[in-house]
Structure 1
Amino acid sequence: MNVVQGIAAALTPLGLLWTVLIIGVATFLHELAHYALARRQGVAVHSFSVGMGPVLLRRQWRGTEWRLSLLPIGGYVEIDGMAPEEDGQGSYRQPTRGFAALPVWGKVAILLAGPLTNLLVAIGLMTVSFSSQGVAVPDRARIEEVVPGSRAQTLDLRVGDVITAIDGQDIPETAQVGGRTVAGWEGVRDVLTKAGPHTFTVQRDGQSRDVRFDWSPTVGGQKQLLGIRYAPDVQPVSVGAAFVRAWQVTGEAVPQVIRSFAGLFQRFFTLDLSRDENVSGPIGTAEIVSRAAAVSPWALVQVAILLNLSLAFFNLIPIPGLDGGRIVLALVGALRGRPLTFQQEQAINFAGFAFVMLLMAFVVVRDVSRFF
């Protein structure tokens, strides 16, 4: 199988369609927030594009040219006073109107609007998901499948049983597995790496019972499997509790996102093309969406949550060219009492833009390299 066949096998037409829709909507809302905050402060917006590249359709409305562009992922808004302006002699200079004339808080409000909108979209989707599907409980593992004829079946473990304790110890909220900190329910597999007598305390129909068994990880040189598939137990919650939990999950995601981006930068500077499950390129993202589309609509909602959170956090990285970098430049100008010169800002933005482009190219190359 060649590279093209490998990529085609990993993706599906429906998955590609959902990828375009999810990323397109997230980007559209991001740019719409920039647009709304600029117009709210009386700053003109020259153009608003859904998509990137060559313009397919355009229409003038409320002083803005609304565009539909060829490439279906991404978008942009052209806000007056953000780009350099001509001085009438064929040269460019720092703008003095529109965005450039706003006080620092006005600039920061426009720049923060996009990432905050993606963050609020993610929190809203999580609230809907939690209130409809329930909230996962990290210290309880629910058995979702028992393999016929397996050791688990002979022990009378059943689908719907909830494991609450192992060897007389309650399952903790977090556990260490392979050097990683994971939710406690994921640590159930860890006990099956240790030979000897074990006890699962399970709840069934409101009653608690102990399931005792002797275990050996291998039998005759072959790895032994207990024969269950499990997931975190899920408990129903109110909309209010779901909203609170959504904020908690967002806060808990921040350290993980920081580690993921730090790992990406480290791989970028060392040209490490090894696969990283925490960061996906366009092909990896489409592959994830393809798998989610085959599972359920709620799996697609989970992907949309992750993409909106990723878009929010990535744009807040203080790299020139991104919203976070522009915020830093606006704050630096306010602290200096005057904005950076045209040459300084252009040089910084060019360097930041070049870095982001190289980073994106690296992610794509790494994404494709796993098919070789």
Structure 2
Amino acid sequence: MTGVISAVVLLGVLIFVHELGHFLLAKAVGIKVLKFSLGFGPKVIGRKVGDTEYMLSAVPFGGYVKMYGDESMDDINAEDRDTAFLAKSVWRRALVVCAGSVFNILFAALLFVLIYMVGVPRPLPVIGELSKGAPAQRAGLAAGDKILEINGNKVNYWEEMTEVVHKSAGKELTFSIETKDGIKSFKITPESKKMKNLFGEQEELGLIGISPRGDAETVSFGFFESIPIAIKKTFEVIMLTLLALVKIIQKVLPADTIGGPIMIFQLASKQASTGIMSFIMFLAVININLGVFNLFPIPILDGGHMVYLLIEAIRRKPLSEKVIIITQKIGLALILMLMTFAIYNDVLRLFKGTPLP
């Protein structure tokens, strides 16, 4: 049941934030909004407030904002012309179109601020296990030893140590270690090893053959301290999302890593069972994924509409309705093919019992 609730919350928040972006920007530039719906299809429940009907619809996988005059100006009343979507300037329409994705990304940044304010556990540089015959063991390090410095630079957390070691294959490093007999100095040269990175590519890394014991410290920040860290994290996830796409195109990442609603449901359930902060982190990442994906220049997505507007700005007149209809059919076909492939991967993963990425 927790899995169902977490998936519903995830989907609801994603859609609401995205459509809220379109809605608020439409209102801000003076466009009349006729409908704000969470879900597609027949209306389940709704209420009209002012010009806008707010609805929950039967099919939960999506949502929409219906704006006045967003398809044609033929039936627009003269007195309401200024409130029609198509009557607005290109740049105003562009703001409305990209607002959904921008809101998803901004919302993710706010979630990261919350996460860093609550606190993030960071592993301490305390050794748990040593690989037999590896540089650390040969140098005399033991389980329970704590790394204090490397080449005179203070080490506070495990990842600070690994960052230095990974970049130092074949280079002698001086470690200051807190042992059971006091603080001692050790000379260790990391060995070069081929390891797989996040995308499964082989890369050369320096290793000394140690793993962490598991000691961790929760590090939290004030509101204003959290903002730049959250912005940096947001950009990291954006770049990782784009890089993952490039790696799939390059066939570095296998196509079966593409997942659909079933995988998202499973991951949401998994993160929710781990803890509320893990779920919030996952929610932030998925918001960024959705925001970035929606800006791809594929007709029917927000990015496709941005391309239409760019062409209109260059030509000083919109594309013909025929061209838009044809390209949107192509875009819809591409999206349906991608969704079908993703769901196929999900089902195959379930039958094979393949672990989640």
| Closer/same/farther in 2, CA of residues 40 and 81 from structure 1, 3 Å limit | same
Please, which runs of 5 or more residues in structure 2 have no aligned partner?
76-80, 192-208, 353-357
Aligned length: 318
Deviations 1:240-288 (A, max 9, x none): 2210111122223333221222344566xx9x97542xx5322222222
1:340 to partner: Cα distance: 0.6
Asked whether 1:122 is paired with 2:104, we answer no
Instruction: Indicate the SS of the match to 1:82.
Output: coil
Deviations 1:183-202 (A, max 9, x none): 765569979x99xx998645
Cα distance in 1 for residues equivalent to 2:215 and 2:97: 40
Deviations 1:158-194 (A, max 9, x none): 6xx45754xx69799xxxxxxxxxx765569979x99
Asked whether 1:295 is paired with 2:274, we answer yes
Asked whether 1:142 is paired with 2:124, we answer yes
Cα distance in 1 for residues equivalent to 2:215 and 2:332: 42
Asked whether 1:131 is paired with 2:117, we answer yes
Equivalence for 1:336? 315
Equivalence for 1:317? 296
Please, which runs of 5 or more residues in structure 1 have no aligned partner?
1-12, 88-94, 173-182, 217-224
Pick the aligned partner of 1:262 from 246, 264, 268: 246
What does residue range 63-212 of structure 1 map to in structure 2 within 5 Å? 63-84=51-72, 98-134=84-120, 142=124, 146=128, 155-157=142-144, 161=146, 165=150, 201-202=176-177, 209-210=184-185
Instruction: Indicate the SS of the match to 2:124.
Output: strand
Give 1:300's aligned amino acid. Answer: F
Instruction: Indicate the SS of the match to 1:125.
Output: helix
Q: Is contact 2:272-2:278 (8 Å) kept?
A: yes
Q: Is contact 1:135-1:237 (8 Å) kept?
A: no
| Closer/same/farther in 2, CA of residues 214 and 341 from structure 1, 3 Å limit | closer
Give RMSD over aligned pairs: 4.2
Cα distance in 2 for residues equivalent to 1:231 and 1:339: 61
| Closer/same/farther in 2, CA of residues 274 and 334 from structure 1, 3 Å limit | closer
Pick the aligned partner of 2:41 from 24, 44, 53: 53
Deviations 1:104-158 (A, max 9, x none): 111011012111111111111111211221586xxxx5258947xx999x92416
Give 1:287's aligned amino acid. Answer: Q
Give 2:346's aligned amino acid. Answer: D
Instruction: Indicate the SS of the match to 2:299.
Output: coil
Deviations 1:70-109 (A, max 9, x none): 233321111222235778xxxxxxx998111110111011
Give 1:15's aligned amino acid. Answer: G
Q: Is contact 1:28-1:74 (8 Å) kept?
A: no
| Closer/same/farther in 2, CA of residues 325 and 215 from structure 1, 3 Å limit | closer
Give 2:326's aligned amino acid. Answer: A
Equivalence for 1:253? 237
**How high is the TM-score relative to the length of structure 2?**
0.73
| Closer/same/farther in 2, CA of residues 128 and 97 from structure 1, 3 Å limit | closer
Instruction: Indicate the SS of the match to 1:59.
Output: strand
Equivalence for 1:351? 330
| Closer/same/farther in 2, CA of residues 213 and 38 from structure 1, 3 Å limit | closer
**How high is the TM-score relative to the length of structure 1?**
0.70
Equivalence for 1:242? 226
1:31 to partner: Cα distance: 0.4
Q: Is contact 2:46-2:54 (8 Å) kept?
A: yes
Instruction: Indicate the SS of the match to 1:51.
Output: strand
Asked whether 1:23 is paired with 2:7, we answer no
Deviations 1:201-236 (A, max 9, x none): 4569xx9655789999xxxxxxxx966455997644
Q: Is contact 1:135-1:242 (8 Å) kept?
A: no
